[in-house]
């Protein structure tokens, strides 16, 4: 079915990928949840969801959308349920403070192994071979023997450790590494089922002395994830290398809380982390095609939130214009971001709002929203020119520049908040093109395969400029529906292999024109 089920202190939550459905206890309804405080969850081979609570166990049947509870041979499972697992034969194993229950759904019979006679269970785990192992409060792990209907015990903790409040946790079947048994405050123990040998798993014991382990998860044959009160520790079984995932206050994509209580992988390969104070966290599968860059407050991180323009130069650097942090460079060699506007360098760009960027050989053209146009020598890392309205030689009538275009013949056009300019290389000044959408906010520029320049405006639609004839045409919708196109807010323009011109708008979708 693919639902995600989350047990909380305030009910059972089912997530279908879009929305949650919350199941709550209703004392007046015998088909409702037994308690709102959920302590354990498990799905059996028939698709039933088993729910542990402080007051016993119940199950949910998806086909009938109702809850029920075990009532076999006058045996009612009461008290705190700490874990539930289903074995390969579809027996339901239930760990409680009173002992272990083994429920047979086929004949509605229960085998009970009381704590006072056997052991008090903590966690139930199944190996890949189908063996049932249980960690217990007496510092031992127990393997169930179906033939004798009994358990074989193996001491994991010393008496001194037990007296020091060391407790066992999860048991992981790590293949050739044997069984890995977590403890709350003494790291992880390695157990060889063939020889019964127990050893400390971590090479550097000091590293784990003050780490409170809550859960463990076998991510792969070579990696385990350890949920702790100090985030997730990812341990490479081969190299011993540890990566620690923790909450970073300035990073919205870090985990929401360091107190990690449960780790689960879904059918698509995504990882879910349940935390004590920060709800659920989801890590998509690693085959996602995008890597995120965002402000974290850390050195070398991107420090702008509103990215307006991105361009690469011939040296492999990525130049980023932002509306809130100015000009930023991503160094391809170091992978670090450098803020050119705010950095301690000799480059002086007096604007934090960079709208347009153009790479012209070794020159980087920088269009700002409030201080004209800068030209940066990329190799020398120095400003070589600054054009602004107050400088009469510049030919500019505004300091607000939004976009640039270099055409195939080498011409450079600059779109401003009040029209289009062409750069005069000979006189190093700009010519205002008063016959091309004068007074209009030029938001984007594009040259098609036959040399026409397309202009997208902010609120005034789309224009096509024929450079050879010097004429400009406003683009209308089919059937001359002028009103629909007249006030379009054009955000980008692109030509595909079939020579169609595509354009996107702000608030009205996208379309194309057969050119």
Tens of pLDDT, residue by residue over 120-163, are 999 999 999 999 999 999 999 999 999 999 999 999 999 999 99
More confident residue, 224 or 488: 224
Asked whether the predicted pLDDT for residue 209 surpasses 90, the reply is no
User: Fold match between 1-118 and 307-514?
Assistant: yes
Q: Given this model, what pLDDT does residue 344 score?
A: 63
Phi first, then psi: what are they for 106, rounded to 5°?
-65, -45
What DSSP designation does 452 have?
Answer: P
Question: How many CA atoms lie within 13 Å of 415's alpha carbon, on the beta-carbon side?
Answer: 25
**pLDDT tens digit sequence for 456-505:** 998 888 999 999 898 998 886 544 454 455 558 899 999 999 999 999 98
138-142, 306-310, 327-331, 468-472: least confidently modelled range: 468-472
Q: What is the pTM of this model?
A: 0.70
Q: Tell me: pLDDT of 433 over 80.
A: yes
CA angle 95, 96, 99 (to 5 degrees): 85
Structure tokens at 110: 């229960």
What's the mean pLDDT in 350-359?
A: 95
Q: Which CATH superfamily is domain 1-118 in?
A: YVTN repeat-like/Quinoprotein amine dehydrogenase (2.130.10.10)
Confidence of residue 251 (pLDDT cuts 50, 70, 90): confident
* Burial of 184 (C-beta count, 10 Å sphere; 0-12/13-18/19+): middle
Q: How far apart are CA 26 and CA 28, in angstroms?
A: 5
| CA distance readout (Å), 326 to 215, 264, 290, 307, 341 | 45, 42, 24, 9, 5
Helix (H) or strand (E) holding 160: helix 159-163
Interval 378-390: pLDDT, tens? 999 899 999 999 9
pLDDT, tens digit (0-9, with 9 covering 90-100), for 156-194: 999 999 999 999 999 999 999 999 999 998 899 999 999
Q: Determine how many CB atoms are found less than 10 A away from the CB of residue 440.
A: 20
pLDDT, one tens digit per residue, over 226-244 is 999 999 999 998 888 889 9
Largest CA distance in the chain: 99
Give the mean pLDDT of 103-121.
94
**pLDDT of residue 399 exceeding 80:** yes
| Superfamily covering domain 307-514 | YVTN repeat-like/Quinoprotein amine dehydrogenase (2.130.10.10)
More confident residue, 15 or 205: 15
Q: Hey, where are the domains in the chain? A: 1-118, 307-514
Least confident window among 119-128, 206-215, 270-279, 401-410: 206-215
Query: Residue 415: in which H helix or E strand, if any?
Result: strand 412-416
Give the residue among 310, 377, 387 at the shortest CA–CA distance from 345: 377
Cα angle for residues 443, 314, 414 (degrees, 5° grid): 25
pLDDT at 401: 97
The answer to whether residue 204 scores a pLDDT higher than 70 is no
pLDDT at 371: 95
């Amino acid at each position: 079915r693919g639902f995600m089920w989350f047990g909380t202190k305030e009910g059972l939550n089912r997530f279908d990928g879009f929305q949650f459905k919350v199941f709550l206890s209703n004392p007046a309804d015998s088909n409702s949840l037994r308690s709102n405080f959920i302590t354990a969850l498990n799905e059996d081979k028939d698709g039933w969801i088993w729910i542990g609570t402080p007051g016993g166990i119940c199950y949910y049947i998806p086909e009938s959308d109702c809850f029920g509870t075990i009532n076999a041979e006058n045996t009612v499972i009461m008290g705190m349920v700490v874990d539930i697992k289903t074995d390969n034969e579809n027996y339901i194993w239930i760990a409680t403070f009173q002992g272990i229950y083994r429920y047979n759904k086929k004949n509605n019979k229960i085998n009970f192994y009381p704590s006072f006679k056997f052991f008090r269970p903590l966690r139930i785990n199944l190996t890949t071979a189908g063996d049932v192992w249980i960690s217990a409060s007496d510092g031992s792990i127990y393997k169930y023997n179906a033939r004798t209907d009994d358990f074989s015990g193996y001491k994991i903790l010393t008496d001194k450790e037990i007296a020091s409040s060391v407790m066992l946790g999860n048991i992981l079947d790590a293949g050739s590494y044997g069984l890995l048994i977590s403890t709350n405050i003494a790291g992880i123990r390695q157990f060889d089922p063939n020889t019964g040998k127990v050893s400390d798993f971590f090479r550097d014991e000091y590293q784990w002395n003050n780490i409170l382990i809550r859960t463990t998860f076998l991510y792969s044959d070579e990696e385990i994830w350890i949920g702790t009160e100090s985030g997730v520790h990812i341990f490479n079984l081969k190299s011993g290398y540890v990566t620690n995932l923790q909450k970073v206050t300035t990073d919205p994509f870090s985990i929401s809380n360091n107190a990690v209580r449960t780790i689960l992988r879904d059918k698509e390969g995504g990882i879910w982390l349940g935390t004590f104070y920060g709800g659920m966290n989801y890590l998509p599968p690693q085959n996602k095609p995008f890597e995120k860059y965002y402000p974290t407050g850390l050195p070398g991180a991107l420090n702008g939130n509103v990215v307006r323009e991105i361009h690469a130069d011939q040296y492999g650097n990525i130049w980023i214009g932002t509306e809130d942090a100015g000009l930023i460079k991503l160094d391809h060699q170091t992978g670090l971001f450098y803020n050119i506007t705010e950095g301690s360098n000799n480059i002086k760009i007096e604007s934090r709002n960079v709208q347009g960027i153009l790479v012209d050989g070794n020159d980087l053209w920088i269009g700002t929203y409030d201080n004209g146009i800068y030209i940066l020598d990329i190799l020398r890392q120095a400003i070589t020119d600054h054009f602004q309205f107050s400088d009469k030689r510049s030919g500019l009538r505004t300091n607000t520049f939004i976009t640039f275009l270099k055409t195939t013949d080498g011409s450079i056009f600059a779109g401003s908040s009040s029209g289009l300019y062409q750069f005069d290389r000979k006189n190093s000044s700009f010519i205002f093109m008063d016959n091309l959408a004068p007074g209009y906010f030029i938001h984007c520029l594009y040259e098609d395969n036959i040399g026409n320049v397309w202009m997208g405006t902010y609120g005034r639609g789309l224009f096509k400029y024929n450079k050879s004839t010097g004429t400009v045409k406003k683009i209308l919708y089919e059937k001359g529906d002028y009103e629909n196109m007249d006030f379009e807010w054009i955000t980008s323009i692109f030509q595909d292999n079939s020579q169609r011109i595509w354009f996107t708008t702000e608030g009205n979708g996208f379309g194309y024109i057969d050119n």
